[in-house]
Structures are given as structure tokens and as C-alpha cells.
Amino acid sequence: MMHPALRRLFFVTAAAVICAQSLLADGRNWMKEIPDDAPLSSLAIPGTHDTGALYEDFPGTSTCQNLTLEKQLDAGVRFLDIRCRRVGDSFAIHHGMVFQRMSFDDVLEIVSKFLDENPSETVVMSINEEYAAKDPARSFEETFEEYLKRDPARWYLDEELPTLGAVRGRIVLFRRFAAERTKGIDASRWPDNSTFTEGLIQVQDEFDVKSNDEKWRAVSAMFDEMKQGDRGVLRLNYVSGRQEGMLGIPNIPKVSNDLNARLVDWLERNRQPLSGIVVMDFVTPRMCELVIAQNAQR
């Protein structure tokens, strides 16, 4: 007969394995295994930097992702970095001056469809103004509010960090723009190219990379913070960046090709709970799987 202590260890281990298998079984609904009362800030969440940036005019300068928005969501991405340019009375998705062949209407349609089909999930959506407005009909905030009016129940607009149960099936606004009326998680005070703490967020976004070793040290330092668990702070660790190439032209793959390999290796070797969002360029299903797996270690 198995000793009671060994029996308990067996069942705990088996439960952890089952949980891990469930989390990894389908990137479309990995959040369904996580309790409703879990703070959103306590989860390990895959995210994408410049989510809609699939196109560029010159190689290496604008494209940040290979997967479409639909495929990112299916892979498990739950933090979206949406860059909006005001064009008339609507938003177009841009990376700098480069139009990404998508409107904000397209983004909302895709995300809403995904959440309707996967009501256990939530999406944290960072929204920021990108590039110079073209013939704007109103302010950025006013334009955004018109989008909100179409489906207000879809959005979580409170300033406080929610539990997962409070936002299943909804979009959590992570607001990178200044606002008087709309709320959401306030990330409007965002110093460029830095690691900082501001209000309820702690961020490593040192994107102007002088050396990949230096950037990885910044990523690793934030992982150390993310291991400490939830302290009522939402942590974001940007693995993304760019190096200056010939003639001062930015080169994105020069960073991502190296840093993504280091990230995969680190996640494979460090199986422990992480609390926060890992924001990546050129995300793959494997990278998402490894981030999501950190939740199974709790």
C-alpha cells in the first residue's frame, strides 16, 4: 500500500501535469483552466509588440510580426499593441508612416469574434496614437469614444487591475493616450526607451538596442521582478527592440533573431511562475506555449 505522503505527492503531481496539458492543449482558450479570482496581473501572458505590423517598404524596418492577428490570438497571444493613426473620423493601423492594410474596425471585428467563440478568454489591448493625423475630424480620444459606443459592454474601462473572472469575454483597455473622459489602465505616461514604474504598471521597454547582450540583461532583470509574484502591479517585459543599421536605418530582425532564441532557451530552462506580460516581436506558437506554461507552475 502506498504511503499517504507519497499518495498525496502523486496526486498533486498528476494534477499539475493535467493542468499543464490543459493549458497547452489549445492556445485559443488556455485561460479557461485559470480560476476566476486570479488577478489578471498574476498571470503569465504572451503579448506582441506592434501587433499589426506585417508590412514594410524596406526590409527590416517596419515588420514586427509574421502571424496575422487571427493567428496570434489562436496561438495564445492575449496582449495586443495596436497603433492607430487618425485618418478623418476613423483609425487606420500604422507602424510609423507605413499603413498596415488594416483598420481599427478590422481589429475590433477580429477580436470580438474571437472572444465570442472563446468566452473564457480576455484580451488586453494597448491603444496608442501613431504617426501624424491626416485630416482629423476630432481628437484621438473623441474618435476612440465613437468606437466604444458601438459595443460598450465589450470593454473593461476601470482604472483598477481586474480579476480574470471580471473580464472574460471582454477587452481590457490599456491606454497609452492621454484622456479626460475614458479610463482604462492608465499607461499614458510612458518614458521612451526605458525601464520604469508608473502607477499600476512596471515596464521594461528598452527598444533602442546598442548591444543584444545589454538588452538581454534588461529582459532578465525584469524576469527577476516577474518571479516575485503579483504585488498589485502589472509588469510588461518587452523582448522587442531595434538596432541601428547601415546609414542609421533601424534593423528589427537583428534584435529579434537573437533575443527570441535566448527567450525560448530561458523559458525552457526556467519553469516557475511568472506574473506579467512578455511582449515579443515575430511571435511563434512555441513562444506562446512556453509563456503560457509558466501558469501551470503555480
pLDDT digits (tens, 9 = 90+) for 48-85: 999 999 999 999 999 999 999 999 999 999 999 999 99
pLDDT at position 1 is 46
Whether the Cβ atoms of residue 237 and residue 219 lie closer than 8 Å to each other:
yes
**167-185 average pLDDT score:** 95
> Bigger pLDDT: 5 or 185?
185
Asked if residue 77 belongs to a domain, the reply is yes
Q: Which domain holds residue 50?
A: 36-297
Asked if residue 12 belongs to a domain, the reply is no
**162-170 average pLDDT score:** 98
Asked if residue 22 belongs to a domain, the reply is no
Q: Which residue has the cell 496539458?
A: 21
pLDDT at position 271 is 82
Instruction: Report how far residue 289's alpha carbon sits from residue 9's, in angstroms, rounded to the nearest whole number.
Output: 26
Asked if residue 1 belongs to a domain, the reply is no
Asked if residue 14 belongs to a domain, the reply is no
Asked if residue 18 belongs to a domain, the reply is no
Give the mean pLDDT of the chain. 91
> Is 260 a residue whose pLDDT tops 90?
yes
> Is 4 a residue whose pLDDT tops 70?
no
The residues, ordered by sequence, that sit 6+ positions from 155 with a Cβ below 8 Å of its Cβ are 148, 170, 171, 172, 173, 184
Handedness of CA 244, 246, 250, 252 (dihedral sign): negative
Return the C-alpha cell found at 33.
483552466
Give the number of C-alpha atoms closer than 13 A to the C-alpha of residue 181, restricted to the C-beta side. 9
> Is 5 a residue whose pLDDT tops 80?
no
Confidence of residue 16 (pLDDT cuts 50, 70, 90): very low
Share of the chain above pLDDT 90, in %: 85
**93-119 pLDDT per residue, tens:** 999 999 999 999 999 999 999 999 999
**216-235 average pLDDT score:** 93
> Is 17 a residue whose pLDDT tops 60?
no
Number of domains in the chain: 1
Asked if residue 193 belongs to a domain, the reply is yes
**254-265 average pLDDT score:** 98
Q: Domain of 120: which CATH number?
A: 3.20.20.190
pLDDT at position 297 is 66
Asked if residue 246 belongs to a domain, the reply is yes
